[in-house]
């Protein structure tokens, strides 16, 4: 496999050890990064380490500092930080299992593919995968990588297993902090019924390839145009397509009903009737003029 493994070791379930390799399941290829350029020379701008009132300083004079109060720092040397790093272990112990829906979505951070390291590991790997699927459980453990200990979950995915990095509790803001002020009221049953009807009509299989980052696509298009223009300035005012928006929705029930019906503002039958009424006076006027003649 061309990709480089993020971690190699073994997953341990009680007395059973399964040699595995873990690979990133995502990539950041869609992002476009920029550098600051000095326009007259066309050269990239570099950043210097400077101290206020002193100017540029040597890298050997720089330490890491943790601010304990405004303007006061605890200074740490690289070797002191290195001394407290967690030793990388080659074993991921599954210490607990939870229901598949017991982990809040806020805790999930990044997924990785887990593959058996060799043919001999495939049987034990398949047993663990199918056991997790049958029990509808997710395995939990802590993975030691690059001096840090990561909380992780392990779950079945198709023919394989997916490991997901989880955030620790102190990294997640409690939802109550933001939602406490919201009223604790149930939705109107009729409005709820209309809303669920709209959701059912728009329900379809998830196809991620149908969604695109339009901003990134537009940037790529602009970059291609700039390449062809050979340095000439191109400034485009792009108006995003979309339906015209009216004022605030006052009647929520009416808006839901219209959405459930398909959101048509005027049915075709009404348009045809209006058109025939508009033409009718012209047809009547013609014979009247002939009688006067």
Q: Give 17-34 pLDDT, tens digit per residue.
A: 999 999 999 877 657 788
CB of 154 closer than 8 Å to CB of 132:
yes
Of 139, 135, 136, residue with least CA distance to 163: 139
| Domain residue ranges of the chain, discontinuous segments joined by + | 7-27+85-171
CB of 114 closer than 8 Å to CB of 158:
no
The residues of the chain scoring below 50 in pLDDT are: 1, 243-247, 249, 263-293
pLDDT of residue 276: 46
Q: Which CATH architecture has domain 7-27+85-171?
A: Beta Barrel (2.40)
pLDDT of residue 282: 46
pLDDT of residue 222: 82
CA–CA distances in Å: residue 53 to residues 50, 56, 57, 141: 9, 10, 11, 49
pTM of the model: 0.64
Of 166, 168, 157, residue with least CA distance to 114: 157
């Amino acid at each position: 496999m061309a990709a480089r493994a993020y971690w190699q070791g073994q997953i341990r379930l009680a007395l059973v050890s399964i040699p595995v390799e873990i690979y990133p399941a995502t990539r950041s290829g869609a992002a476009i990064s920029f550098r600051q350029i000095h326009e007259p020379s066309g050269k990239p701008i570099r950043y210097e380490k400077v101290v206020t009132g002193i100017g540029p300083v040597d890298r050997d004079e720089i330490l890491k500092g943790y601010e304990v109060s405004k303007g006061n720092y605890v200074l740490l040397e690289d070797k002191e930080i290195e001394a407290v790093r967690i030793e990388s272990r080659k074993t991921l112990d599954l210490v607990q299992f939870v229901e598949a829906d017991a982990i809040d979505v806020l805790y999930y951070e990044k997924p990785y593919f887990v593959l058996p390291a060799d043919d001999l590991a495939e049987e034990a790997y398949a047993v663990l995968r199918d056991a997790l699927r049958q029990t509808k459980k997710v395995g939990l453990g802590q993975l030691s990588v690059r001096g840090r200990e990561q909380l992780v979950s392990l779950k079945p995915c198709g023919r394989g297993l997916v490991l997901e990095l989880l955030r620790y509790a102190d990294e997640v803001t409690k939802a109550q902090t933001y939602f406490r002020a919201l009223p604790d009221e149930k939705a109107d049953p009729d409005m709820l019924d209309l809303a669920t009807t709209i959701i059912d009509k728009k329900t379809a299989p998830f196809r991620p390839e149908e969604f695109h980052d339009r901003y990134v696509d537009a940037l790529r298009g602009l970059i291609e145009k700039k390449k062809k223009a050979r340095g000439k300035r191109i400034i485009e005012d792009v108006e995003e397509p979309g339906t015209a928006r009216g004022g605030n929705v006052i009647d929520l029930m009416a808006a839901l009903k219209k959405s459930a019906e398909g959101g048509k503002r005027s049915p075709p039958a009404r348009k045809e009737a209006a058109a025939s009424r508009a033409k009718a006076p012209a047809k009547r006027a013609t014979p009247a003029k002939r009688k006067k003649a």
